[in-house]
């Protein structure tokens, strides 16, 4: 397949736009991680970065617990304590759970829907770099005068310049703005990907449940982030431009901050939990060898939770004095939201019931999730009762509630996902024995740490205060809790050891190690760069499972095919799979943003303008470069090899036309049989209709699902696209 | 593997709709100009109302006119009327979501003297 | 399997119409367009918060001149009309490129940018007048809410103008032929949205007492 005539261009000639940097091409090697637009690499980047922040946030937690281990603790001053607990919360919410979920969204969703990547791969990379830089920006405050200290919720007027002079909170404000942009970008990308890039036959109600939870979480992000964006701008204006939005003396109302924050903040907690719920919903069926109980109900309850999640925010403000009408209305809505949540719990139980249970580590974490989350949910229900909540507000009871749902829930769920998908991502299995130790140590430590908070809270111990006096009767449970925190730390060390050991051992992993159910397992482990050899056609939920098993008349499982028979082989040169090219520009554009923000923190407009120019030039260069580079002249006879990731970036005539143009080919190409199969000659001739036809050269192995990549061949090479 | 006949689902319906859209008329330039003139007239009416002694019904009328202008621009200029319903839904979630949430917030602040 | 893959804008069916060349997707709608609509849905929440903040603080100022005392409604009405007309020129630009008339498209795009710039100039004039007459962003909560809301809107318009001028530049270089009309359409969606926001702002902030 030599290079044929270039496709028609608007300007009539191929003239690559002037570029300052040669387009990176490598897809392996350290440098490739900085320029990769591969959703899998980006997912791994998100995961590793998030886990690092988990360790940092955990360290902050240990500091808190050391300080509170005894009354009148002297480990941290009040000022430092405020920074530590603020950063602990901000880190865990924005730098751990959200990006960890993003890691799985990014890695799994295209695989679960049968696509080669997300709709906008370079935008995806941008989102990651903004996240990393936002997190670094936030933590740079450590060496620049002090970390944010207004709590993760930043209540006004405490956050005003009057009560919080110094730059601490400015770092918080701008850091969160950067992170918010990152998440918004990610959510748009995922929504378009899930709606538009599904493989043939993958109806919405055949998608894996994790993908559904991703879609729902993305909508939650899309509609809640703008609200906190406004809130952050307003407090920034108060602090830096002298406005009075939250300053009562100037006519402002601090309660407005609370409304705006919690209008975001409540959907945010569903953003934190739904992905983990999705993971648990994937794990349980596999290890029970039963389908998810009530799949459509699980989907609709997720949608219901999201929808209702926008209608309960005032339950964070029951003690503010909003009046009986508002508080009772939201009390009712809060009680109602327990319904779809409870439905999910019962469906998980129904999934396990009667199943052939294999108690491997992922299932242990999943079951741990269900039980711990239920406990947290129960304390949440008590919060819904306004009189009870009045007593619980600002005490450790609330801290107990949200740690049970966020740690006992989200974190345990995420670990279930980590153990389960580890072979898919890394081609290795984490050790089972160490995994079980990790689970039990963590479970015990977690309950020792946070269980006592219920008691302490009801005994009146206030939260967000750096110490407590002797003689309150709180000493014993605080000591227990601190001990528990170190047990959690030990559990985490076990996990880290497991990872390291696994990496060193490099034991081979069987294809389909868990006898799984969903589409991502049809690819070899670890997933190859191009995802699927051919875009699969989907016929049911749990597509992969139904290719292996069917049921006899008695409802018993009957194996029809061994997964080894149809797990895809690795691609070779003859497969002619085209992937979009790596790019520097997402990273370049991302770098501009923290520069702008440093300028604003220090009121140095020149710095901000420099940052803006960096960002704009990054975006322009990005807009001008094509999604996929035409082949390097040095490789024209090439099958790209070596650093090009094994013959995948083939310089064939369809290069500009790569992704997204499957169907006409399939229609004309005589691919009458199995899906968009690779039929080089057929598709090459059948679909071709003049120069820039989307006829893919060596067989379009991408089906409908591939759209979104630039490169309609009748468009100019220098595509303006994302 | 034979084609899956059961994939006549919402996605295919949406796709068919999109196909139809291509064959639908895009409004002509003349239509656009008429729409713009209508918008101009509505704006003129609004400004005229401003100069009358304001009362509740004037306010309500102004709001109604605002909504009409909003809908006209969205339906014609933004092509929502002729496009796939998926766009309409996305946008409406934003519009109705925002309207509802913020109205509730403003109620709680007593902005609407009800 | 072939029949499922819907590429509605390809093949004989679409032959009669200048093809959109939307990428083939599961739903038949274009990715970029879907992304823009999702983004605009999100922007509703953004402007909604800003508008609500203004509505909350409309009568809560403690001192200083408030916007209503300083409005020049005739002037702002003309400004609003200008912005509305810019939506017309935007849609005419799209119509032109859909017909394949790149030159006319450029003219209408430039017109849109010009009208937008006129609107922004009007805003700048208005703001400087207010500031000269003693109402700045920090004078009181009403003025603060006013400036933040209209300021955010103005930044959006300005970014739109930059985008439009970039498109003119790309079109001159031949990068926007008829087959890429969708790029213009998507830019138009953004522009019309910004116009709609102003429709709301003009009524609620300026006209309603």
| Residue B20: pLDDT band with limits 50, 70, 90 | low
Q: Just list the catalytic residues of A.
A: 88, 117, 152, 182-183, 266, 268, 270, 281, 315-316, 341, 344, 463
For the ranges A133-147, A189-203, B16-30, the lowest mean pLDDT is seen at: B16-30
Alpha-helical runs (H) found in A69-150: 78-90, 98-113, 121-140
Question: In this complex, is the C-beta atom of C61 within 8 Å of any C-beta atom belonging to chain A?
Answer: yes
For A:314-333, CB contacts with B below 8 A are: 314, 322-323, 326
| Residue B18: pLDDT band with limits 50, 70, 90 | low
Which contiguous run of DSSP H or E holds residue A685? helix A680-686
Structurally, chain C folds into a number of domains equal to 1
Contacts of A376 (CB under 8 A, 6+ apart): A400, A401, A402, A403, A404, A405, A406, A408, A409
Beta carbons of B10 and A674 less than 8 Å apart: no
For the ranges A44-58, A262-276, C66-80, the lowest mean pLDDT is seen at: C66-80
Alpha-helical runs (H) found in A141-250: 168-196, 209-241
Convert the pLDDT of each residue in A707-717 to its tens digit. 334 333 333 33
Convert the pLDDT of each residue in A462-510 to its tens digit. 999 999 999 999 999 999 999 999 999 999 999 999 999 999 998 889 8
Average pLDDT over residues A600-624: 94
Average pLDDT over residues A276-280: 98
| Residue B14: pLDDT band with limits 50, 70, 90 | low
* Selected residue with higher pLDDT from A713 and C142: C142
CB-CB neighbors (< 8 A) of B97 in chain A: 223, 310
Please give the share of chain A, as a percent, with pLDDT higher than 90.
73
Average pLDDT over residues A206-223: 98
Q: Which domain holds residue C166?
A: 31-207
CB-CB neighbors (< 8 A) of A226 in chain C: 42-43, 45-46, 49
Q: Rank A22-31, A55-64, A648-657 by mean pLDDT and report only the highest.
A: A55-64
Residue A650: pLDDT over 60: no
Average pLDDT over residues A179-197: 97
For the ranges A107-111, A292-296, A567-571, the lowest mean pLDDT is seen at: A567-571
CA distance A37 to A531: 14
Q: Cβ distance A100 to A51 under 8 Å? A: yes
Average pLDDT over residues A435-447: 98
Mean pLDDT of chain A: 86
Please give the share of chain B, as a percent, with pLDDT higher than 90.
61
| Residue A634: pLDDT band with limits 50, 70, 90 | low
Beta carbons of C10 and A663 less than 8 Å apart: yes
Residue C133 lies in a domain: yes
Beta carbons of B1 and A198 less than 8 Å apart: no
Provide the pLDDT for residue B24. 57
| Residue C2: pLDDT band with limits 50, 70, 90 | very low
Mutate to test the interface with C, among A201, A203, A233, A663 (most CBs of C within 10 A): A663
Beta carbons of B7 and A204 less than 8 Å apart: no
CB-CB neighbors (< 8 A) of A260 in chain C: 49
CB-nearest to A196 from C5, C21, C25 is C25
CB-CB neighbors (< 8 A) of C74 in chain B: 47
CB-CB neighbors (< 8 A) of C40 in chain B: 90-91, 94
Which contiguous run of DSSP H or E holds residue A550? strand A549-551
Provide the pLDDT for residue A575. 75
Provide the pLDDT for residue B17. 63
CB-nearest to C84 from B4, B22, B36 is B36
**Nearest-CA distance C192 → chain A (Å):** 19
Ramachandran area for residue A293 (φ above 0: left; ψ -120 to 50: alpha; else beta): beta
Q: Rank A6-10, A33-37, A432-436, B4-8 by mean pLDDT and report only the highest.
A: A432-436
Residue C152: pLDDT over 50: yes
| Residue B10: pLDDT band with limits 50, 70, 90 | low
Measure Cα distances from A653 to A394, A630, A637, A711, C129 in Å: 65, 9, 12, 12, 60
Beta carbons of B108 and A314 less than 8 Å apart: yes
Average pLDDT over residues A442-458: 98
CA distance C127 to C121: 10
C188: nearest CA in chain B? B78
Please give the share of chain A, as a percent, with pLDDT higher than 70.
84
List the beta bridge partners of residue A395.
Answer: A462
For the ranges A208-222, A466-480, C56-70, C177-191, the lowest mean pLDDT is seen at: C56-70
Beta carbons of B36 and C87 less than 8 Å apart: yes
CB contacts < 8 A, A to C, total 189
Whole-angstrom Cα Rg for chain B: 20
Which contiguous run of DSSP H or E holds residue A399? helix A396-405
For the ranges A70-84, A375-389, A579-593, C120-134, the lowest mean pLDDT is seen at: A579-593
Provide the pLDDT for residue A694. 34
Mean pLDDT of chain C: 89
Mutate to test the interface with B, among C1, C3, C4, C71 (most CBs of B within 10 A): C4
Beta carbons of C37 and B46 less than 8 Å apart: no
Residue A286: pLDDT over 70: yes
**Nearest-CA distance B2 → chain A (Å):** 6
CA distance C203 to A100: 44
Provide the pLDDT for residue A552. 84
CA distance C200 to B71: 11
Average pLDDT over residues A319-348: 96
Provide the pLDDT for residue A657. 33
**Nearest-CA distance A540 → chain C (Å):** 15
Instruction: Please choose, from the candidates A602, A364, A321, the residue with its C-alpha nearest in 3D space to the C-alpha of residue A491.
Output: A364
Beta carbons of A666 and C1 less than 8 Å apart: yes
CA distance A450 to A540: 42
For B:86-105, CB contacts with C below 8 A are: 86-87, 90-91, 93-95, 97-99, 101-102, 105
| Residue A633: pLDDT band with limits 50, 70, 90 | low
Residue spans of the domains in chain B: they are 28-82, 84-114
CA distance A522 to A536: 9
Provide the pLDDT for residue A20. 53
> Beta A557-559 vs A549-551: how paired, if at all?
antiparallel
Angle of the A585-601 helix axis to the A168-196 helix axis, nearest 10? 150
Convert the pLDDT of each residue in C32-64 to its tens digit. 999 999 999 999 999 999 999 999 999 998 888
C183-193 burial: b if 16+ Cβ within 10 Å, else e: bbbbbbbbbbb
> So what CATH class is A37-505?
mainly alpha
For B:5-24, CB contacts with C below 8 A are: 7, 11-12, 14-20, 22-23
CB contacts < 8 A, A to B, total 36
Beta carbons of B1 and A674 less than 8 Å apart: yes
Convert the pLDDT of each residue in C61-105 to its tens digit. 888 899 999 999 999 999 999 999 999 999 999 999 999 999 999
CB-nearest to B7 from A201, A223, A674 is A201
Beta carbons of B111 and C55 less than 8 Å apart: yes
Average pLDDT over residues A131-154: 97
CB-CB neighbors (< 8 A) of C138 in chain A: 241-244
Provide the pLDDT for residue A644. 36
Question: In this complex, is the C-beta atom of B101 within 8 Å of any C-beta atom belonging to chain A?
Answer: yes
Convert the pLDDT of each residue in A557-569 to its tens digit. 888 888 777 787 7
Residue C18 lies in a domain: no
CB-CB neighbors (< 8 A) of A206 in chain C: none
CB-nearest to B105 from A259, A537, A674 is A259
* Selected residue with higher pLDDT from B20 and A27: A27
CA distance A636 to A630: 10
Cα of first residue to Cα of last residue in chain C, in angstroms, is: 61
Provide the pLDDT for residue C62. 83
| Residue C18: pLDDT band with limits 50, 70, 90 | very low
Provide the pLDDT for residue A571. 77
Question: In this complex, is the C-beta atom of A210 within 8 Å of any C-beta atom belonging to chain C?
Answer: no
Provide the pLDDT for residue A511. 83
Average pLDDT over residues C148-167: 97
Residue C118 lies in a domain: yes
List the beta bridge partners of residue A559.
Answer: A549
Subunits with 3+ Cβ pairs within 8 Å of B are A, C
Beta carbons of C23 and A715 less than 8 Å apart: no
| CATH number, domain with residue C72 | 1.20.120.80
* Selected residue with higher pLDDT from A718 and C84: C84
Which contiguous run of DSSP H or E holds residue A557? strand A557-559
Residue C55 lies in a domain: yes
ipTM of the complex: 0.90
């Amino acid at each position: 397949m030599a290079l044929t005539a270039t496709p028609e261009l608007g300007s009539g000639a191929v003239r690559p736009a002037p570029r300052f940097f040669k387009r990176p091409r490598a897809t392996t090697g350290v440098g490739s991680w900085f320029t990769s637009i591969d959703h899998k690499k980006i997912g791994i980047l998100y995961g590793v970065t998030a886990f690092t922040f988990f360790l940092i946030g955990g360290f902050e937690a240990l500091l808190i617990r050391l300080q509170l281990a005894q009354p009148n603790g002297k480990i941290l001053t009040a000022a430092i304590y405020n920074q530590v607990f603020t950063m602990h919360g901000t880190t865990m919410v924005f730098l751990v759970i959200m990006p960890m979920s993003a890691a799985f969204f990014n890695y799994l969703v295209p695989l679960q829907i049968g696509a080669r990547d997300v709709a906008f791969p370079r935008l995806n990379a941008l989102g990651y770099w903004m996240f990393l830089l936002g997190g670094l920006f936030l933590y740079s405050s450590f060496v620049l005068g002090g970390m944010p200290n207004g709590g993760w919720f930043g209540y006004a007027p405490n956050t005003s310049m009057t009560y919080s002079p110094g730059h601490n909170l400015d770092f918080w404000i701008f850091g969160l703005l950067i992170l918010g942009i990152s998440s918004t970008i990610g959510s748009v990308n995922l929504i378009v990907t899930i709606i538009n890039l599904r493989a043939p036959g993958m109806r919405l109600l055949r998608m894996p449940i994790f993908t559904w939870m991703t879609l729902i979480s993305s909508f939650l992000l899309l509609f809640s982030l703008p609200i906190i964006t406004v809130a952050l701008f307003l407090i920034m204006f108060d602090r830096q431009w002298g406005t009075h939005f939250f300053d009562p003396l100037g006519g402002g109302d601090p309660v407005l901050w609370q409304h705006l924050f919690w209008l975001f903040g409540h959907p945010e907690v569903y953003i934190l939990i739904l992905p983990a719920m999705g993971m648990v919903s994937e794990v349980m069926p596999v290890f029970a060898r039963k389908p998810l109980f009530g799949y459509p109900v699980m989907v609709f309850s997720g949608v219901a939770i999201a929808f209702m999640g926008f209608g309960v925010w005032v339950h964070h403000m029951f003690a503010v004095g909003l009046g009986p009408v508002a508080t009772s209305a939201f009390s009712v809505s809060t009680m109602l939201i327990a319904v779809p949540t409870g439905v999910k719990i019962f469906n998980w139980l129904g999934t396990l019931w009667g199943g052939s249970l294999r108690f491997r580590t992922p299932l242990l974490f999943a079951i741990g999730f269900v039980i711990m989350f239920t406990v947290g949910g129960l304390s949440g229900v008590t919060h819904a009762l306004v009189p009870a909540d009045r007593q619980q507000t600002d005490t450790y009871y609330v801290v107990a509630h949200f740690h049970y749902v966020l740690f006992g829930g989200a974190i345990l769920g995420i670990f279930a996902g980590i153990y389960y998908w580890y072979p898919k991502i890394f081609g290795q299995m984490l050790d089972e024995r160490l995994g079980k130790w990790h689970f039990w140590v963590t479970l015990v430590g977690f309950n020792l740490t946070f269980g006592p908070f219920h008691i302490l809270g009801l005994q009146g111990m206030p939260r967000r205060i750096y110490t407590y006096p002797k003689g309150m009767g709180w000493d014993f449970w605080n000591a227990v809790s601190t001990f528990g925190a170190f047990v959690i730390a030990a559990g985490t060390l076990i996990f880290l050891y497991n990872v390291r050991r696994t990496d060193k051992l490099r034991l081979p992993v069987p294809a389909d190690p868990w006898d799984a159910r969903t589409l991502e397992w049809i690819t070899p482990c670890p997933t190859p760069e191009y995802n699927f050899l051919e875009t699969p056609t989907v016929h049911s939920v749990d597509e992969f499972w139904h290719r292996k098993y069917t049921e006899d008349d008695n409802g018993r499982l009957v194996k029809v095919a061994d997964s080894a028979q149809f797990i895809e082989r690795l691609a070779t040169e003859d497969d002619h799979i085209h992937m979009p090219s790596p790019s520097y520009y997402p990273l370049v554009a991302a770098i501009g943003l923290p520069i702008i923000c440093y300028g604003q923190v220090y009121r140095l407009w020149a710095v901000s303008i420099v940052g803006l120019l960096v960002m704009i030039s990054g975006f322009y260069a990005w807009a001008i470069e094509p999604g996929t580079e035409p082949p390097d002249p040095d490789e024209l006879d090439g099958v790209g090899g070596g650093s090009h990731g094994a013959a995948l970036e083939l310089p064939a005539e369809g290069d500009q036309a790569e992704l997204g143009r499957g169907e006409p080919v399939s229609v004309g190409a005589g691919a009458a049989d199995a899906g968009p199969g690779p039929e080089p000659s057929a598709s090459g001739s059948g679909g071709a209709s003049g120069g820039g036809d989307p006829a893919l050269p060596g067989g379009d192995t991408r089906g409908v699902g591939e759209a979104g990549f630039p490169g309609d061949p009748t468009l100019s090479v220098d595509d303006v696209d994302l | 593997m034979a084609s899956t006949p059961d994939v006549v689902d919402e996605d295919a319906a949406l796709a068919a709709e999109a196909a139809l859209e291509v064959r639908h008329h895009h409004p002509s330039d003349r239509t656009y100009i008429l729409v713009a003139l209508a918008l101009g007239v509505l704006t003129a009416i609004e400004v005229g109302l401003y100069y009358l002694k304001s009362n509740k019904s004037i306010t309500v009328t102004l709001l109604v006119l605002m909504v009409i202008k909003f809908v006209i621009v969205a339906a014609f200029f933004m092509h929502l009327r002729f496009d796939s319903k998926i766009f309409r839904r996305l946008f409406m979630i934003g519009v109705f979501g925002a309207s509802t949430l913020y109205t509730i917030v403003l109620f709680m602040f007593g902005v609407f003297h009800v | 399997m072939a029949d499922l893959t819907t590429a509605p804008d390809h093949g004989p069916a679409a032959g009669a119409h200048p093809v959109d060349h939307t990428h083939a997707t599961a739903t038949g709608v274009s990715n970029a367009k879907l992304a823009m609509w999702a983004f605009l849905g999100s922007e509703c929440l953004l402007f909604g918060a800003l508008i609500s903040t203004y509505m909350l603080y409309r009568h809560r100022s403690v001192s200083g001149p408030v916007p209503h005392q300083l409005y020049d409604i005739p002037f702002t009405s003309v400004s609003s009309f200008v912005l509305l007309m810019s939506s017309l020129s935007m849609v005419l630009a799209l119509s032109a490129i859909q017909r394949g008339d790149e030159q006319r498209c450029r003219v209408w795009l430039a017109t849109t940018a010009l009208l937008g710039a006129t609107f922004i100039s009007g805003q700048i004039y208005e703001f400087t007048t207010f500031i000269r007459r003693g109402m700045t962003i920090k004078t009181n909560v009403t003025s603060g809410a006013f400036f933040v809301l209209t300021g955010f809107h103005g930044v959006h318009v300005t970014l739109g103008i930059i985008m439009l001028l970039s498109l003119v530049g790309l079109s001159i270089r031949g990068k926007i032929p008829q087959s890429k009309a969708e790029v213009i359409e998507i830019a138009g969606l953004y522009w019309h949205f910004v116009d709609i926001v102003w429709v709301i702002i003009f009524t609620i902030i300026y006209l309603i007492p």
